[in-house]
Structure 1
Amino acid sequence: MRVLLIEDDDVIARELRLRWTRPGWSVQVCGSLREAQEALGQGSFNLIVLDLGLPDGDGLEWLSKFRRHDKLTPVLVLTARDRISDRVHGLQSGADDYLVKPFSVEELDARLEVLARRSQLARGELMHYGSLSWLGDEGCAYADGKRLDLLPREFEVLGMLIRRAPRLLPKQALIEALARRNTEVGDSTAEVYISRLRRKLAGSGTMIRTLRGFGYVLELEPVGAPDPEGPTE
């Protein structure tokens, strides 16, 4: 479980981080929206816990923008704003849950566990991006309704790309995921799977762009797009 905690209160952040690392969760604390954006650019998270009154902006405005490109990652708002109108606005802005400070840590834990279970089911059953559909429980993927002929590891890599799209999938994250089933995985192995997927996605309206030294991005293919295996920035 990877949790992104966006909270500028040092006491709350420290206590929650200590509490959540005990069961083995990986917790990254960010005290500003800028730090949160940097963290999201470096990898994905299972859950986000978001304060609203942050030093460099309003959390709800940030959440509305975040939801434009990520509709799956659960976000729990943790704030002192306790009016009914605040709660309604928070949920309408993309929050999956809303908890008012001061709060019970036991209740917070329970709410996060529920969100994590729901997210796991949603991600496992079906994901969409462009013309692509990825069905985790069935182990198959489609482009424009036509089933793609994918090997199991190609299917796994495509799922990681869709889950992150259109954000960066760090190359190291891909290598680590592949290595969980095969310890002999390196840069060349990851590149082989990406190259195979590129060929199989040809004509689907999506493309895999390489950001050399960083990773890969699944994007909608513009008209007249250049060869995705060609020069990249």
Structure 2
Amino acid sequence: MRILLVEDNGTLAEGLSAILRGSGYTVDVVGDGLSAEAAATAQSFDLIILDLNLPEMDGLDVLRSIRARQNQAAVMILTARGAPEERVRGLDLGADDYLTKPFDISELEARIRVLLRRQAGLRSSRVEFGALTFDLTSRSFSSGGRPIDIPARELALLELLFLRAGKVVSKDAIIGSLTGFDEDLSANAIEQYVSRLRRRLFAHGLTVKTARGIGYYLDIAPEDP
């Protein structure tokens, strides 16, 4: 899951991005409104965490702009501006949530999980497909009640495919979801991660199938004849 953090306080941005990356999210950080508008236009994000008091362009204007472009990313406003009229304006302009500073980090993380679950069309924090169960709260997989240890990059790939099980996810979408502004991930690298993931999933009756020239999708592995 890819998050755009829009925060002009460098110390807060650094701390928040470190916490979110530690939870397994891909996080990009920008510090002004114009950069936020450009990033949201050029890239695809699952969630945008948006401050309002920004240089260059106010956060509400950023929100108005990206919604006018039919950008469907979830938006959480995270700001010191907590007056009721500010909350109403933000929500009316298309924000999905509004949290005021100072805030508790555990509440922020819980709200992020709710928004991402809503984006994926899920009602529960536990999702099942085949023999696997994915817990969105801990962002972990299990099979038969036993946790599965998966390296971070493969875990992110499996999460992306799992929440869209049976649907093709393009290579570009995979690269966009798994990498930030300062990272580079080639199509060949994606193929390597897919190959490793297939081997891990074999014992659990699942596989990653290739939609040639398009991307990949998670499916039930065929039974041996």
Report the TM-score, using the length of structure 1 for normalisation.
0.55
What is residue 63 of structure 2 aligned with on the other side?
63
| Correspondence for 1:74 | 74
Following superposition, the deviation at residue 38 of structure 1 comes to: 3.6
Distance 2:188 2:50 in 1: 28
Residue correspondences, number:
154
Shift of 1:62: 1.3
- Normalization by structure 2: what TM-score? 0.57
Identity %: 38
Alignment of 1:88-107 (within 5 A): 88-107=88-107
For the aligned residue pairs, the C-alpha RMSD in angstroms reads 3.6
2:30 counterpart residue number: 30
Distance of aligned partners of 1:137 and 1:110 in 2 relative to their CA distance in 1, 3 Å threshold: closer
1:121-167 CA distance string (max 9 Å, x none): 17xxxxxxxxxxxxx9796xxxxxxxxxxxx7xx544996xxxxxxx
Q: Which amino acid aligns with 1:119?
A: Q
RCO higher in structure (CA 8 A, sep ≥6): 2
Q: Distance in 2 between matches of 1:105 and 1:116?
A: 16
| Inter-partner Cα distance in structure 2 for 1:25 and 1:113 | 11
Deviation for aligned residue 1:4:
0.5
Shift in Å at residue 72 of structure 1? 2.3
Which residue number in structure 2 is paired with residue 121 of structure 1?
121
Equivalents in 2 of 1:106, 1:64: separation in Å? 28
Q: For residues 17 and 165 of structure 2, what CA distance do their matches in structure 1 show?
A: 36
* Separation (CA, whole Å) in 2 of partners of 1:100 and 1:16: 15
Structure 2, unaligned runs of 5 or more: 123-162, 174-183, 197-210, 216-225
CA distance in 2 between counterparts of 1:177 and 1:121 reads 29
Alignment of 1:34-183 (within 5 A): 34-121=34-121, 156-157=169-170, 175=187, 179=191, 181=194
**Following TM superposition, by how much is the alpha carbon of 1:96 offset from its aligned partner in structure 2, in angstroms?**
0.1
Bigger Cα displacement from structure 2, 13-22 vs 109-118: 13-22
C-alpha distance after superposition, 1:45-74 (max 9, x if no partner): 111100001110111111011012234210
Kindly state the Cα deviation for residue 193 of structure 1 after the two structures are TM-superposed: 4.7
Shift of 1:91: 0.1
**2:5 matches 1:10:** no
Distance in 2 between residues matched to 1:66 and 1:177, nearest whole Å: 31
- Whichever residue aligns with residue 56 of structure 1, its letter is E
* Distance in 2 of aligned mates of 1:36 and 1:176: 30
Query: Offset of 1:79 from its aligned partner?
Result: 0.8
Q: Is the 8 A contact 1:157 1:174 kept in 2?
A: no
With over 3 angstroms needed to count, the CA separation of the structure-2 counterparts of 1:29 and 1:70, relative to structure 1, is same
Structure 1 unaligned segments of length 5 or more: list them. Answer: 123-135, 140-151, 161-171, 184-189, 195-233
Q: Structure 1 residues 55, 87: closer, same or farther in 2, change over 3 A?
A: same
CA distance in structure 2 between the aligned counterparts of 1:97 and 1:45, rounded to whole angstroms = 16
Q: CA separation of 1:175/1:158 partners in 2, compared to 1, >3 Å: closer, same or farther?
A: closer
Q: Is the 8 A contact 1:43 1:173 kept in 2?
A: no
